[in-house]
């Protein structure tokens, strides 16, 4: 007879301090609608947006992150969603080429910043919205398509980065960027919202991450998956209660922040965060 230890043990999680780029929402408002969250008739409070954003910034500093800042530009209210500014890996910055005219000017603004801060800039040929649709998990880049980022840009990024790009088809307009439907937990695991993807994409996700956390619709509806992890600490939407519980159960340390004002533009924690990998 063999005795096997069937008791599940929580693995020790490892935090790695990150370097990120953020943009203070000094000019944040909702003056146009390019996703279902945005209603230009609803009032926004820019000073509250700045206050909430500051809490996220302070949280990162407390976690020992290095936070770099790009100057916000008047007339570009979505610039606070820095994740869309590009995708940075091995000191190379693949620039963003936005889908909608309202955000197009952000592409060159972010590329200028990358160039001025020591990154080699790859000017994009194909439409893509940066880290909003490209999540690096280990050596795979999980890449969204269907609403914003083009499949052609997936190939472009594969060439530039030398990484394996996994194309995923988003099907729910409320989860229009892959970072609204997938949370990276660490280099080997993710959490995701099943209903946001088509069946072939789900097959890929199930094969790659059999142990993934499956998020509830309720948590996804407050952009709970739009979170940022250092491998142990995971900054999430404070209202994503089930996600918080599941993360704790798995040995992570969820930290809730309230970005309700930025949710009016259709973005959360991850949208405000662009990882810089030198
Ligand atoms: N209003 C912005 C847009 O629709 C929100 C971007 C959110 N960013 C993200 N990485 N999901 O483009």
| 241-268 pLDDT, tens digit each | 999 999 999 999 999 999 999 999 999 9
Separation between Cα atoms, residue 127 and residue 171, nearest integer Å: 18
pLDDT at 4 > cutoff 70: no
| Percentages (nearest 5) of helix, strand, coil residues in the chain | 35, 20, 45
β-bridge partners, 229: 234
Average confidence score pLDDT of the chain? 96
Tell me the pairing of strands 92-95 and 120-122.
parallel
Summarised one tens digit per residue, pLDDT across range 40-98 is 999 999 999 999 999 999 999 999 999 999 999 999 999 999 999 999 999 999 999 99
Ligand 1 site, residue 177, Cβ cutoff 6 A: yes
Ligand 1 site, residue 265, Cβ cutoff 6 A: yes
Per-residue confidence at 225, pLDDT binned at 50, 70, 90?
Answer: very high
Q: Which of 84, 130, 143, 270 should be mutated for ligand 1, with most atoms under 8 A from CB?
A: 84
pLDDT at 211 > cutoff 60: yes
Separation between Cα atoms, residue 235 and residue 52, nearest integer Å: 13
Q: Name the pTM for this structure.
A: 0.95
Ligand 1 site, residue 148, Cβ cutoff 6 A: no
% of the chain residues with pLDDT over 90: 96
């Amino acid at each position: 007879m063999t005795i096997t230890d069937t008791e599940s043990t929580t693995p020790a999680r490892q935090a790695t301090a990150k370097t990120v780029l953020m943009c203070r929402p000094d000019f944040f408002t909702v003056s146009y609608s390019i996703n279902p969250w945005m209603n230009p008739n609803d009032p926004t409070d820019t000073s509250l947006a700045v206050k909430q954003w500051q809490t996220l910034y302070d949280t990162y500093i407390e976690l020992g992150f290095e936070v770099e800042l790009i100057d916000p530009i008047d007339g570009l209210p979505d610039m606070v969603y820095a994740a869309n500014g590009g995708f940075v890996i091995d000191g190379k910055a693949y620039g963003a080429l936005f889908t909608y005219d309202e955000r197009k000017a952000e592409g060159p603004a972010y590329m200028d910043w990358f160039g001025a801060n020591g990154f080699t800039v790859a000017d994009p040929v194909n439409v893509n919205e940066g880290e909003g649709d490209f999540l690096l998990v280990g050596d795979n880049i999980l890449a969204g398509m269907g609403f914003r980022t083009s499949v052609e840009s997936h190939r472009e990024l594969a060439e530039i980065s030398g990484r394996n790009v996994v194309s995923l088809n988003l099907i729910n307009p409320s989860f229009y960027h892959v970072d609204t439907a997938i949370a990276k937990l660490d280099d080997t695991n993710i959490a995701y919202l099943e209903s946001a993807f088509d069946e072939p994409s789900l097959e890929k996700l199930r094969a790659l991450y059999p142990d993934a956390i499956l998020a509830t619709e309720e948590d996804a509806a407050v952009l709970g998956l739009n979170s940022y992890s250092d491998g142990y600490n995971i900054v999430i939407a404070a209202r994503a209660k089930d996600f918080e519980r599941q993360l704790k159960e798995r040995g992570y340390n969820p930290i809730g922040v309230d970005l309700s004002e930025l949710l009016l533009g259709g973005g959360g924690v991850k949208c405000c965060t662009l990882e810089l990998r030198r």
